[in-house]
Structure formats: C-alpha cells, structure tokens
Chain A
Amino acid sequence: MSGQTWEIPSGFIPIYPGVDYTPPPIPSVDGPAQHVLKIPVAGPAPFNTLAVVRGRGAIGSGLISDDEMHRTVWRVSTHLKIPSYDPDRPVLDQLRHSTAASIVAMSSGGQIGIEHDDGSDFQVAVDEIVAEPYVDEDTKRFYVDIRTANLHNQTSSVDYLEMTSWVLYYDPATKPLDEQIVVIIPTFPDPIDTAAVIPGAAGEEWH
C-alpha cells in the first residue's frame, strides 16, 4: 500500500450495533492515493487522453430497518483531474466516460426489531450510473454520481460499491502519438565468460 493513503468513507459510523464489520478502505481524495492510469490516444477529436480511475462509495442510506426502500445518489470521488475543464461549457462536450459499479462488500447483522417473525428481508442495489458526471470547477476533480437503493426489514447491513471509470478527455500535457517516437538503442552485452562458475551447474555445490 505504499504511495497510497486511505480514509474512512463518508457516512461511516464507527460502531454499527449488531454488525461487526469494518468498511473497505477508500482512497483519500487529498493524498497521493490510488494511481490514475493515463493512455495517449489518437482520437476521436478533440480527445487525446484515456484515463482509468477507480472509486468506492456507500450503498443506500445505512442501517435503517423500516421495510422502506431508501434511494440515494452517491457522488463518488476519483483522483482524476480534467485540466482543460471549462465550467461554462457542457461537461459531456469536454469528456466521455464509461463507468461500471458493483457491490464490493456487504455484511449483515442478526435479526433485529421489537418483534421477531419470519419476515426479515433485504434489497441492496446499484441501480444506475448517472450519464452526466460532475467536475469540480475549482479543483477540476472528476466525480461520478451513482443511484443506489437499499431496504431492510428486521435486519440491516453495511454495503459498499466499487466503480471503475474510463474517461476520454483532452489533456494539454499529453504529447501527440506521432511525437512519441520510441528510439531503440542497441546494446552490446559483455563477452560471456565461459569460465565463470554457474551456480547449480554440474560440479558446483549448491545450497
């Protein structure tokens, strides 16, 4: 985990009655944290960079057990910054993204409630990735909004999602592909010393 810092996810309460569970670590938005993979691409214009980022967030509204569906939109942060982002232009003119999110962790406690019967049930859902992402106009950080839902009746659980987002955007720091010339410099190995002792070879003691 060197080079990464972690923080407790938003909405996390350290003690969940009845649920002995620690949530998955979530990369800090302020530290060096999770790396962003950036790939130079030739297009489509005006884009020249493809980035891969991951983020984590909570699902639903926590440990409420009232047999009601609780729908929540979570804004999942990433470590990608869109340097050319202009808040006065539509965001989808400035980037494209393809994002998937699924349940990464789920832990349930025992049956709870004043009266116990055979009616406990749950639903945990990542329903939709909001097509239009959010970019902070000050930090230029890229976020994805995810619609989630959960329902608990006479039980409760803590649930988290992980998302992977591929983002196509323009980065002035990315060099055009035709400028990224790879020069292969031939190297000449040292002469092989055939008299050298090869470890493990026949005649050599090997420990």
Chain B
Amino acid sequence: MAELDVTDPAQVASHQVLEADLGIGGRRLVVASGIARPEWKIDSDEVHRGDWTVHLHIPADRIEQVTTHVGLASIGNDDTGYGFATDTASVTVNPTTGELDLTVGLALMGEPSTLNRFAYQVVAVVVSTVSEISGTIRWPRRLFEPPTLSVSDTAPHFTIQLNDRETRPSGGPFGGVIETLTPILAGEVTLVAMTDTEVRAKYRILNPPKGRELRVTVATDIRAPGAGSVLVGPAAGVEDVFTLTLDDPGRSGVDFELVVQVIA
C-alpha cells in the first residue's frame, strides 16, 4: 500500500474539487478530479498488483452516495509484452482525519513497464455535521468591565485562534521541545455575562479539523492598571492541546483565565 497526497503536486496533478450545496439538510455534492502519480515501475513478466490510497482532504463525516471513475493516464513499456490496469476503486472516510480517501487497485506487467499516472473522479453526496470547540474566558470585573453585555463591546478585545501545533526537540542539554503554532481558524465570542466580581465571555470555533494536533490560544489587549501585566492562559486543569477524531469531533470546556502579574 502506497499513499499519495493531493497537496503535493509531485504526487497528484490537476486536483480540482467542486462543491455544490444541494439545499437539503446540509448535503453537499462533491466532485474531486485529478491525476495521481504513483510512478510505479516494474521489470517482470508476471502481473503485479498493489493498492494506492489518495488522501483527498475533503471533510465528510458521512458519505450518503458515491461513485468513482478511475482510468489509466500515463503508461510506458520497453519492447516487451505488457499489462496495465486500474482494477478497483473505493472511497471511504478516514476515521482519523474525517476526510475522504480514494483507494485504487493497480496491476502492472512488463520488462520493464511503468504506470506513471492514473486519473480519478470521485462524485459523492456527503454530510458534514457541525462540530465546535468551545469554552469560557474569565477575568476579574475590576480588570475590565464592558459597558454593556453586548458581544460587540467585548469581542474586539480578544483574539481567539485555533492553531496547528508542531513540535521538535530543542536539542539542548535539558531536553524539551520547540513549539510552532500556525493559525488555521478564528474563534468568535458568542455570549457575555457578569457576576459581582467576574466577567465571562463564551467563545466557539466552528468545524475544527480532525487528525491534527491543535492548540487554542487567546490573546487580549486588556491592560492591567499600574505596573502589572495581563497574562492569558488555560484555566486550572484544562488541556488546550488535543487531537480531534471522527468519533470525538469537538471539545467543550476549553476555558481560559486572565490573571494580572504584578511586577515588583
């Protein structure tokens, strides 16, 4: 089994996705076409078979209907008998990423023969359920009190982001890792509430991706009175780094707190 990814032009050429809203219950018609590049070469007078999986990166929690066409796109042989075939094709939802995968069975014979490319077209009616990451941002009322409970009075003071998280060893004598965060989605404040001592802003991030390590970050422009500085971090016991899956597509209770650090 070999894998090809549509995001790499060296592995898949001319990948084109077309989506149409069918206007019925969130159903989408998805058409994905392209030319995969297995670049498979053999030197044998016997037929060899193998499966290639193309990661299409099309989110779909459920496939309602699907039909697939595959065909030879680039073949070659050097002065011998030969055989080339696209024998089978199937489309599934990857349980880790929640995205469509196309698996194609190829056959090849020749001394030598090459099956450089095959064409594919996946036509599917898919349903994606809405998932979200949600939580609350809390801070002392004395630190910042919005003039009203309108979201528009509070939201501009926060930048809520969902990031792809990558780590690599720092290489130092004490171990540790260097973290790289790449923003992929923005969050939004949906509700603001106040008690006598505290302000709470609920937020959400819609349709987060699956199968990737993620980290939620919150930044604010709220300033501390005097010489202190405002720090934003996850509330006690909250894990702000996680990986979502098809079975666990969302996360709630990813809460943050603003604390004032007083500089002595």
Chain A residues with Cβ under 8 A from B29's Cβ? Answer: 39, 41, 50
CB distance from A182 to the nearest CB of B (A): 13
Question: Which residues of B sit under 8 angstroms from A168, Cβ to Cβ?
Answer: 18, 20
A96 interface hit (Cβ, 8 Å): yes
Q: Does A166 contact B18, Cβ atoms closer than 8 Å?
A: yes
Please determine whether B35 and A164 come into contact, CB atoms closer than 8 angstroms: no
Are B21 and A43 in touch, CB under 8 angstroms?
Answer: yes
Smallest CB separation, B116 vs chain A (Å): 7
In chain B, positions 10-36 with a C-beta closer than 8 Å to chain A are 13-14, 16-23, 29, 31-35
Tell me the bound Cα distance from A102 to B86 in angstroms: 11
State which residues 133-191 of A face B: CB under 8 Å: 149, 151, 154, 162, 164, 166, 168, 177
- B121 near A126 with CB under 8 A, answer no
Task: Check B16–A131 contact: CB distance below 8 A.
Answer: yes
Are A164 and B121 neighbours in the complex by a CB distance under 8 Å? yes
Q: Mask for A89-100, Cβ within 8 A of B = 1, else 0?
A: 000000011111
Let me know if B116 and A125 touch, CB within 8 A.
yes
A8: chain B residues at CB < 8 Å are none
Any A CB within 8 A of the CB of B117: yes
A101-B119, A126-B74 known; A41+B21 contact, CB < 8 A: yes
* A-chain residues with CB within 8 Å of residue B120 when the two chains form the complex: 100
A28 on the B face (CB < 8 A): no
- The docked-state distance in angstroms from the alpha carbon of A126 to that of B34 is 11
**Distance in Å: Cβ of B192 to nearest Cβ of chain A:** 32
How many chain A residues touch the partner (CB < 8 A)?
Answer: 37
CB-CB nearest in chain B for A99: B33
Given contacts A44-B21, A121-B77, A129-B33, contact A98 B117 (CB under 8 A): no
Contact indicator B33/A124 (Cβ below 8 Å): no
Known contacts being A100-B34, A100-B69, A101-B119, is A123 close to B76, with CB within 8 Å? Answer: yes
| Binding site secondary structure of chain A | strand
A-contact 0/1 string along B64-98, CB 8 Å cutoff = 00000111111111110000000000000000000
Count of interface residues, chain B, beta-carbon cutoff 8 Å: 35
A68 interface residue (CB < 8 Å to B): no
Whether A102 pairs with B14 at a CB distance below 8 angstroms is: no
* CA gap between A18 and B175 in the complex, in Å: 71
Quick check: is A118 within 8 A (CB to CB) of the other chain?
yes
State the Cβ distance, A23 to closest chain B Cβ, in Å: 17
Which residues of the partner chain B approach A50 to less than 8 Å between Cβ atoms?
Answer: 18, 20, 29
- B74, A124: Cβ atoms closer than 8 Å: yes
- Is A7 engaged at the interface, CB distance under 8 Å to the other chain? no
CB pair B79–A128 under 8 Å, yes or no, is: no
Question: Does B123 belong to the interface (CB within 8 Å)?
Answer: yes
Measured CB to CB, the closest approach of chain A to B169, in angstroms, equals 40
**B118 on the A face (CB < 8 A):** yes
Chain A contacts for B31, CB-based, 8 A: 98, 166
Cβ–Cβ < 8 Å partners of A61 in chain B: none
Contact: A123 with B74, CB < 8 Å? Answer: yes
Task: Map CB proximity to B onto A45-57 as digits: 1 under 8 Å, 0 otherwise.
Answer: 0010010000000
Contacts of B73 in A (CB 8 A): 101-103, 125-127
Contact B22 A41 (CB under 8 A): yes
Cβ-defined contact, A98 with B69, below 8 A: no
Docked complex: B37-81 residues within 8 A CB-CB of A: 69-79
A120 CB-CB contact with B under 8 Å: yes
Are the C-beta atoms of A103 and B23 separated by less than 8 Å? no
B16–A42 touching, CB < 8 Å:
no
Roughly how many angstroms separate A127 CA and B13 CA in the complex, as a whole number? 8
B23→A102 contact, CB < 8 A? no
Contact: A121 with B78, CB < 8 Å? yes
Cβ–Cβ contact A131 & B14, under 8 A? yes
Residues of B within 8 A of A (CB): 13-14, 16-23, 29, 31-35, 69-79, 114, 116-121, 123
Q: Which residues of A contact B (CB under 8 A)?
A: 39, 41-44, 47, 50, 96-104, 118-129, 131, 149, 151, 154, 162, 164, 166, 168, 177
The 5 closest A-B pairs by CB, nearest first: A102-B71, A42-B23, A125-B74, A100-B121, A123-B76
Q: Given A125-B116, A166-B18, 15 other A-B contacts at CB below 8 A?
A: A47-B20, A97-B18, A98-B18, A98-B121, A99-B14, A100-B34, A103-B75, A125-B75, A126-B74, A127-B13, A127-B117, A129-B35, A131-B14, A151-B76, A154-B79
